[in-house]
Amino acid sequence: MDLLSSFYLCLRSQNYIMVYTFNPFTNYAPHPWKEVEVTNKPDPRWTSYNLRLTQDNDMCRLLQFDKSKLLNGYPVRISAYANISFQLHSTILRFTIPKINDYTWTPNALKRIDNNIENAIPSYDELRFAIATKSRYIISTFIEIDSVIDPYTSIFAISILLLIITLIALVNEYQFLAAIVDVYRHGSTFTYSKISYAHYLYLSVYIFGFVFSPVLQGQVFALLTKPSYRNIETLQDLYDYNYHVYYDTNIHDNIMDAGLWTTDDDQKYLHRIDDPFSLECFELARHHSSVACISLSY
């Protein structure tokens, strides 16, 4: 700290005195201090300055300036604790090493049981499987029936129905119930003037029923004969719904013992992998509704 506040006096030949000082932090000094070029510096940050000594009232103030006002990245070392005294206390642990006991194993029969009162109880292990599949949504039968009828078929059917309604309105003077009875009787009660209209009416109804009835009945019966969907719970469900089963190699014997995938065509749905509950298998099941990942459930 004394070096920071010190300065040096040098007498020049022109009968004036120069004051020298240095800044160890950076190249900073207030006016009118001037930097002095020095070839040999103890540190690159050191900068020397000089000032001509004059008889001025501000001379004392100029000689003493705060050199630490501008550090310019100078590393400063500080202490986190000051004037703190502490003591270390330690407790010696005392413990007793237990004695090592030596046991001698001697199997002896305690009592003999009569064979007439004993029986063997077999144990059965039931394996449980954890099955991961993609969620399926139940679609109503009405929506499924509507999905199998294309727009052109719907337009044609509606056109035929409108034609039949128009003929009924023209022939029977909007008496629709009587027209239905006449169609059922094949037009036997029609007069001669209306017989041609009755034939057209009967022919239209017959064509409509002949063309569309088998198509609609076939689609409806095909949907009704499909088994209703339920959650996948057992290996039998996986087999019935033709799932591609990805399972652990260690449970291959258990899968085959179920007696479901017996033929070569059935075994194409079985796939062995090292980790069926890995991220790759879950991603495959998430994108394909016919993929199942199974493993043993502990």
- Mean pLDDT in order along the chain per 10 residues (298 residues): 70 77 82 82 79 75 77 74 65 64 65 64 66 70 62 74 71 63 55 53 64 66 60 84 88 87 91 83 87 81
Residues 201 and 245 in one domain: no
- DSSP symbol at 96: -
pLDDT at position 245, please? Answer: 92
Residue 80 lies inside a defined structural domain of this protein = no
Residue 87 lies inside a defined structural domain of this protein = no
Residue 77 lies inside a defined structural domain of this protein = no
pLDDT at position 137, please? Answer: 57
Residue 78 lies inside a defined structural domain of this protein = no
Residues 156 and 208 in one domain: yes
Q: Is the pTM of this model over 0.75?
A: no
Residues 208 and 239 in one domain: no
Residue 23 lies inside a defined structural domain of this protein = yes
Residues 214 and 153 in one domain: yes
Residue 105 lies inside a defined structural domain of this protein = no
- Domain stop point among 29, 46, 63: 63
- DSSP symbol at 268: T
pLDDT at position 186, please? Answer: 53
Residues 205 and 264 in one domain: no
pLDDT at position 15, please? Answer: 73
Residue 113 lies inside a defined structural domain of this protein = no
Q: Give the residue among 243, 294, 259 at the shortest CA–CA distance from 273.
A: 294
Evaluate the CA torsion angle 222, 227, 230, 232 in order and state its sign.
Answer: negative
Residues 216 and 239 in one domain: no
- Domain stop point among 197, 224, 251: 224
pLDDT at position 68, please? Answer: 77
Number of domains in the chain: 3
d(CA 214, CA 193): 34
Domain that residue 203 falls in: 141-224
Residue 115 lies inside a defined structural domain of this protein = no
Residues 212 and 242 in one domain: no
d(CA 51, CA 18): 6
- Domain stop point among 195, 224, 253: 224
Report the side by side order of strands in the sheet with 291-296: 129-133, 291-296, 244-248, 270-273
d(CA 282, CA 234): 19
